[in-house]
Amino acid sequence: MQHYFINSDSLNLTTWEVTIVEDAFHIANVMRMTVGERIVVIAADSSYLVELTNINPKMCVGQIIEELSFDNELKTKVTIAHAFVRREKQEDTIEKITELGAYAYMPVIMERCNVKIDLDKQDKKRTRIEKIIKEASEQSHRTSLMKLYDVCSFKALLNQSQNYDLCLVCDTTTNPYDISSIVNDDNIKNVLVLIGPEGGISENELKQLENNNFKKISLGKRILRTEVAPLFVMAIFAGSEEIL
Amino acid sequence: MQHYFINSDSLNLTTWEVTIVEDAFHIANVMRMTVGERIVVIAADSSYLVELTNINPKMCVGQIIEELSFDNELKTKVTIAHAFVRREKQEDTIEKITELGAYAYMPVIMERCNVKIDLDKQDKKRTRIEKIIKEASEQSHRTSLMKLYDVCSFKALLNQSQNYDLCLVCDTTTNPYDISSIVNDDNIKNVLVLIGPEGGISENELKQLENNNFKKISLGKRILRTEVAPLFVMAIFAGSEEIL
């Protein structure tokens, strides 16, 4: 069944009516749904089974049949802090980690990011990325939208770190922290995982990370590119929680 | 250090000399290496530390310093059988599962693949994909190239299944097989994992798979697209073997 994230304003919990504007074109002209068909709408982290009563490419209306009680989010909230990469790679990463259940994505400017960042263009970019997150969340049947942070400095990342139960940094070193102890620890609800740029994390940065209590983790024997490492991290968390 | 897969013909184990033609341009003009710099070459699953003695965009020569004894392959050989998808998605999947350590990739024609397959173009496509595999293997420091099968029919897939210690199919059903028992079983050295098309696996196909001893596995609560599921599967195997 098709899922749609909508604004909570579009939901009238007195009349149990839902008004859909943003996705009306998709419902009417892409999915070509007809009156009586059902969809799932998610508003403010609650899900509802909705029967469509009026279909128009500009606005659709539906009647709530029942509130649903499924939760497809991971118990561990994983925030991926990712060195700033070029647009296509970033979008690809964001789309895939959304499907894999990441809680949030935080692009970070690091020493060895060899990508120019035009801060004036970030607003336009943000709109585009939010659309990617919404669509990936709908298609993968998530019950919350992945959170998107604005591009931040390395210093801002370090300042953020105290908001997490655990901070990790992916690095190929000799004595990595044992990640299995984390994924089975119920006290760790909020994890930040940093993935560095193609050029690697500088020694200076690594020192500051260690001073701010970041633990190094290894991602196995093979060297993963900066856009593949976040997928691997998310698959490990999702796999440990739901499969292994 | 830069890694290159070369033909075993290019290796002279009497004089300990290596001749590199295919990657000569990359060494000379992309990496701009100079005489005396070292690379790792891999030929016929053996790795060598090589010092460059002559650099030219058309042919480079190097002297073997020593044979190396590292192995970055997974113990469990995982073959990803993947419903035929359109070119960009297939190439993206292949690149990423190569990095994640897949043993082989097998594109399969299934009932609900809604992509036209032009078998005449498969040769040209194969050359392109082999290049992607080579580059992804080099960049991720693999010690063997991922194997690439030609496009095969569903029937051929079923016939192949007896060559594996275990065959799995990703499916969202109520009673999935417990994948954790597999990843820790040393007797299972050769696993085939089938990922169906966007439209899903047909009931008829599912029945035939079960008759051929394929076990259903779940990939967690969220619905993964057909190009993300193979990455998830590989991350689970790699993560279980090397990290968790």
Which residue of B137, B145, B221 to mutate against A (max A Cβ within 10 Å)? B221
Contacting residues of B for A221, CB less than 8 Å apart: 72, 101, 141, 242
pLDDT of residue B181: 73
Which of A140, A183, A232 shows the shortest C-beta gap to B224?
A: A140
d(CA B61, CA B53): 6
Residue A41 corresponds to which tokens in the numbers above? 């709408």
User: Is B180–A223 a contact, with Cβ atoms under 8 angstroms apart?
Assistant: no
Q: Which residue, among A24, A52, A27, has the nearest Cα to A38 in the 3D structure?
A: A52
Q: Is A148 on the interface with B (CB under 8 A)?
A: no
- What residue of A is the nearest CA neighbor of B223? A140
B chain contacts of residue A243, beta-carbon cutoff 8 Å: 179-180, 217-220, 236
pLDDT at B124: 85
Tell me what percent of the residues of chain B surpass a pLDDT of 70: 98
The reply to whether residue A232 touches residue B235, judged by beta carbons under 8 angstroms, is: yes
Hey, is the C-beta of B58 within 8 angstroms of any chain A C-beta?
no
Does B243 contact A236 at a Cβ distance shorter than 8 Å?
Answer: yes
Q: In chain A, which among 173-202 make CB contacts under 8 A with chain B?
A: 179-180, 183
Residue B43 has a pLDDT of: 92
CA distance B91 to B112: 20
What does the pLDDT read at residue A176?
Answer: 67
Q: How close, in Å, is residue B15 to chain A by CA atoms?
A: 31
CA distance B244 to B154: 34
Measured CA to CA, the distance from residue A40 to residue A50 in angstroms comes to 6
- For residue range B189-232, list pLDDT tens digits in order: 999 999 999 889 999 999 999 999 999 998 888 999 999 999 99
CB contact under 8 A, A223 and B140: yes
pLDDT at position A22: 92
Residues of chain A contacting B236 with CB distance shorter than 8 Å: 235, 239, 243-244
* B223: contact with A, CB 8 A cutoff: yes
- What one-character DSSP code corresponds to residue B144? S
- Taking the C-alpha atoms of residue A222 and residue B175, their distance in angstroms, rounded to an integer, is 33
CATH superfamily of B77-242: SPOUT methyltransferase, trefoil knot domain (3.40.1280.10)
Which positions ≥6 away from A53 have C-beta within 8 Å?
A: A35, A61, A62, A63
* pLDDT digits 0-9 by tens, B165-190: 999 999 876 566 767 777 778 889 99
CB contact under 8 A, B141 and A236: no
To 10 degrees, the CA torsion angle through A127, A132, A133, A137?
140
Q: Is B2 on the interface with A (CB under 8 A)?
A: no
Whether residue A139 lies within 8 A of chain B, CB to CB, comes out as yes
CA A61 to chain centre: 29
Do B3-68 and B77-242 share a fold?
no
Residue A179 has its nearest CB partner, among B139, B220, B244, at B244
Nearest of A158, A157, A156, A86 to residue A117 by alpha carbon: A86
Q: Which helix (H) or strand (E) holds B232?
A: helix B229-242
Mean pLDDT of chain B: 92
pLDDT (0 to 100) of residue B70:
87
The 3-class SS string of B60-115 reads: EEEEEEEEECCCCCCCCEEEEEEECCCHHHHHHHHHHHHHCCCCEEEEEECCCCCC
In DSSP terms, A195 is beta-bridged to A82
Residue of A nearest to B143 (CA): A222
Residues of B in contact with A223 (CB under 8 A): 99, 139-141
What is the side-by-side strand order in the sheet with A60-68? A3-5, A38-43, A46-54, A60-68, A17-20, A11-12
The three-class DSSP label of residue B118 is: coil
CATH number of B3-68: 2.40.240.20
Residue A225 touches chain B, beta carbons under 8 Å:
yes
One pLDDT digit (tens) per residue for chain A, 244 residues: 899 999 989 999 899 999 999 999 999 999 999 999 999 999 988 999 999 999 999 999 999 999 999 899 999 999 999 999 999 999 999 999 999 999 999 999 999 998 888 878 888 889 999 999 999 999 999 999 999 999 999 999 999 999 999 999 998 765 667 777 777 788 899 999 999 998 899 999 999 999 999 999 988 889 999 999 999 999 999 988 888 7
Task: Count CB pairs under 8 A between chains A and B.
Answer: 115
Pairwise CA distance, residues A7 & A211, whole Å: 41
Map out the domains of chain B as residue ranges. 3-68, 77-242
Write the DSSP string, chain A: --EEE--GGGEETTTTEEEESTTHHIIIIIS---TT-EEEEEETTEEEEEEEEE--SS-EEEEEEEEE----S-SSEEEEEEE---HHHHHHHHHHHHHTT-SEEEEEE-TT--S---GGGHHHHHHHHHHHHHHHHHHTT-SSPPEEPPPEEHHHHHHHGGGSSEEEEE---SS---HHHHHT-TT--EEEEEE--TT---HHHHHHHHHTTEEEE---SSPPPTTTHHHHHHHHHHHHHHT-
Q: Does A222 touch chain B (CB under 8 A)?
A: yes
Q: Please identify which residue in the block is written with the tokens 């070029």.
A: A86
pLDDT for residue B30: 93
pLDDT digits (tens, 9 = 90+) for B5-30: 999 899 998 999 999 999 999 999 99
